[in-house]
Structure 1
Amino acid sequence: MKKALLLFLLCFLLLDTSLQVQGNKTESNTTLIRSFRAGHKTNNGTNKSEYPSILEELEELDSCAMDYFTGILSTRLIPATYAMAVVVGIPSNALILGTLIVKAKTFSTAVLYLSLAVSDLLVMFTLTFKIHYHFSGNNWVFGEAFCQVVTACFYGNLYCSIHMHMCISIKRYLAIVHPFRYKSLPKHTCTIWSTLAVWAVFLVAMVPEVLIRQSYFLPQLGITTCHDVLPKAEEYYTLLLYYKMGITCLGFFIPFIVTVISYVSIIYHLNKSHHDWIYYIKMSTLVFIIFTVCFTPSNVLYFVHSMKLYTSREEYFYIYYNVALCLCSLHCCLDPFLFFLMSRTTGSKLSYITFKGKAMSFSI
């Protein structure tokens, strides 16, 4: 009885999806949580025991997904961009890490940059496995558990990197716009607790990524995908989409708004100052522009992609998202160079006259 009911539901879903596409091509009997549509493979003429039991077989990818998995974009261009980021990012972030460990006890800002360097290094290390995955024709060979860990580590540290930039912008905002309040703050304590809070939040936020199966075998192509294909499961499909949109808002949109307000206020107040802050203004503007260009496209596209999956079950935005994701990896390898540029202003002194006529100065 249960098998008959399940067969009826699968046929109903197949009919429903077939009405939403052009022509007479039959699509899958399930839809995807994350990217492309794929259905569960039936046993008609095929023995499931031929394939590894840990991998669930999926079939009937549409032409869009087939072109992506076999095309030069995902098998050459995307991994080549990742490879350039890794070659530059690992040694440069390691150098910054070694430099900042010594200074972390002296300068509170060094704590934030130290955490940023750690996040960027972890992103770079996970990229090495993604590079192998893409160059191998989008075939994952490291097992399901490691796919879950790499996925959680990659996205979790990207969001940590974004939040570290937000914390740095808030710190500089307080130093310039509210100098007296900033002077009285326990800066080391605040930065350490802020850093720990960010890491704790995203450690918890990435738990669903290690609880959900990420790797699936595709008989049509003879490959095992990691994170790119995930079938719809009715019991948690809607909740998972809400989770994806929520983590995008928490991980990007909220810190982006805070960062915009911080840098706009910084530039506005420095322009009103009688001191020559032109270099600091230029560097702050450059950091903000690079932050916006690198992180905005991928997060906006992912949010739109999630909305499309929820409303119309269209998945082609996932291709655009993967291309835009390359910009995030480039930002992680640019962070050390931005640090060196901004460090030229770190020793600069802000001076204010207190209500008692005494001068107060401190570094930003």
Structure 2
Amino acid sequence: MQWLLLWPLVLGFSFAEDTQVSSDYDDGDSIGGGREGSLGSSVRFNDTKSPVQLHPRSFPGKSCTNNSDTLELPASSQALLLGWASTRFVPVLYGLVVTVGLPANGLALWVLATRVPRLPSTVLLMNLAAADLLLALVLPPRLAYHLRGQRWPFGEAACRVATAALYGHMYGSALLLAAVSLDRYLALVHPLRARTLRGHRLTTGLCATAWLTAAALALPLTLQRQTFRLAGSDRVLCHDVLPLSTQASYWRPAFTCLAILGCFLPLLTMVLCYGATLRALAASGRRYGHALTLTALVLASAVAFFTPSNALLLLHYSNPSPEVWGDLYGVYVPSLALSTLNSCVDPFLYYYASDEFGDKVQAVLCRQPSGSSTSKASGEARSRGTAICSSTLL
């Protein structure tokens, strides 16, 4: 698992545009009916045991008779799954994360690891950059999947790993953002106490907790089958359509835990910590005006990127009846892709917003040797490096 590669950092070492839309299906309703644009034959969902079908996060599929590898899907859900949002809009978002987030976080991680003093705050930022970098690295298979019109060519094992890696690294990033907010809170609101608390022991504990929690939350995604053939087509879907039999019993608790522990708890931590930080910065007057703006942007970006997709998760499970929320998964897919954009924004808010960090990036790009300066310049660089970690947000 890729998370194992991050222990040195923890320790401080180096949507076919089928736009036909039909009403949501109830028990006994006929869907697909052979109308033009439908991908499958007429499919009828009959379940006399429950008057209301569960409609959780992934599209609920009904297994075909004598074929557990194929799932049937209502025409309305097919239209959403194979429409422009999944096959056009989502690939654009994932492509942006790869093309921007990959180099931005890679360069930031290199500079933090080689040109900045290894302070506790540096280790936190290195872990955050690593999480965002790994998120960009695991997106190409999903990007290819959406560009191919929801056709997964890599097999079951790869689907499980890709799904777990996507969610694991994304929520790991959210947890590390919360850790950084706690560190900044201590540094500004409790500066005297921070002298003893903001050490390598606290930093190591925060980073280890973030990675282990993200791994534990993503682990259930590797334990259940997630590739199924869509009835009436040649498409093999990855995670987008899951059997009704496992939706409520397995995926409902798994994704509820993901949303609460991996998103809303870290966001609550950030709101509390950055709220107190903003209050302290505002009380200091104009001296910290730039830091005040950056801190507000950091908090606003995290809330804007992570809240929509996770709110949709909880909406599905608060009342999973289709009559209440409809095909929310068709909205969830692009909102999930939107959440990954946070990894592109992080480096520009946490690293490149600092003039000192920009100078060090320029030195790396210009290949200036770190040992060619005089001792005075070296001392200034070290002092400025310390300022990067302490003043990026403050």
The TM-score by the shorter chain falls in which range?
A: 0.7 to 0.9
CA distance in 2, matches of 1:162, 1:96: 18
Q: Deviations over 1:278-327 (max 9, x none)?
A: 11101111111111111111111122123343786855111111121222
CA distance in 2, matches of 1:25, 1:313: 22
Instruction: Give matches, 1:161-180, under 5 Å.
Output: 161-180=173-192
What TM-score, normalized by structure 2, do the two folds share? 0.75
CA distance in 2, matches of 1:112, 1:310: 42
Partner of 2:109, secondary structure, is: helix
CA distance in 2, matches of 1:157, 1:191: 19
Instruction: Give matches, 1:185-334, under 5 Å.
Output: 185-233=197-245, 237-273=248-284, 276-309=287-320, 316-334=327-345
The structure showing larger relative contact order (alpha-carbon pairs under 8 Å, at least 6 residues apart) is 2
CA distance in 2, matches of 1:314, 1:56: 28
What amino acid is aligned across from residue 261 of structure 2 in structure 1?
A: L
1:104 CA displacement: 6.7
- Whether the 8 Å contact between 2:29 and 2:44 is mirrored in structure 1 is no
CA distance in 1, matches of 2:301, 2:188: 22
1:342 CA displacement: 4.9
**Which residue number in structure 2 is paired with residue 155 of structure 1?**
167
Partner of 1:200, secondary structure, is: helix
Q: Structure 2 vs 1, CA of residues 165 and 38 (structure 1 numbering), >3 Å: closer, same or farther? A: same
What amino acid is aligned across from residue 58 of structure 2 in structure 1?
A: S
1:162 CA displacement: 0.5
Instruction: Give matches, 1:35-46, under 5 Å.
Output: 35-43=58-66
Say how many residue pairs are matched: 325
CA distance in 2, matches of 1:202, 1:349: 25
What amino acid is aligned across from residue 230 of structure 1 in structure 2?
A: L
Query: Does 2:87 align with 1:75?
Result: yes
What amino acid is aligned across from residue 121 of structure 1 in structure 2?
A: L
- Whether the 8 Å contact between 1:69 and 1:137 is mirrored in structure 2 is no
Q: Structure 2 vs 1, CA of residues 103 and 204 (structure 1 numbering), >3 Å: closer, same or farther? A: farther
Q: Structure 2 vs 1, CA of residues 341 and 95 (structure 1 numbering), >3 Å: closer, same or farther? A: closer
What amino acid is aligned across from residue 274 of structure 2 in structure 1?
A: Y
Q: Percent identity?
A: 31
- Whether the 8 Å contact between 1:36 and 1:315 is mirrored in structure 2 is no
Instruction: Give matches, 1:134-149, under 5 Å.
Output: 134-149=146-161
1:153 CA displacement: 0.5
What TM-score, normalized by structure 1, do the two folds share? 0.81
Q: Structure 2 vs 1, CA of residues 83 and 162 (structure 1 numbering), >3 Å: closer, same or farther? A: same
Query: Does 2:33 align with 1:18?
Result: no
- Whether the 8 Å contact between 1:109 and 1:191 is mirrored in structure 2 is yes
**Which residue number in structure 2 is paired with residue 58 of structure 1?**
71
CA distance in 1, matches of 2:30, 2:318: 17
Q: Structure 2 vs 1, CA of residues 147 and 28 (structure 1 numbering), >3 Å: closer, same or farther? A: farther
CA distance in 2, matches of 1:161, 1:170: 14
Q: Structure 2 vs 1, CA of residues 243 and 310 (structure 1 numbering), >3 Å: closer, same or farther? A: farther
CA distance in 2, matches of 1:103, 1:198: 25
**Which residue number in structure 2 is paired with residue 359 of structure 1?**
none
**Which residue number in structure 1 is paired with residue 387 of structure 2?**
347
What amino acid is aligned across from residue 36 of structure 1 in structure 2?
A: F
**Which residue number in structure 1 is paired with residue 10 of structure 2?**
none
CA distance in 1, matches of 2:321, 2:172: 27
Q: Which runs of 5+ in 1 are unaligned?
A: 1-14, 49-54, 351-362
What amino acid is aligned across from residue 268 of structure 1 in structure 2?
A: R
CA distance in 2, matches of 1:290, 1:108: 24
**Which residue number in structure 2 is paired with residue 120 of structure 1?**
132
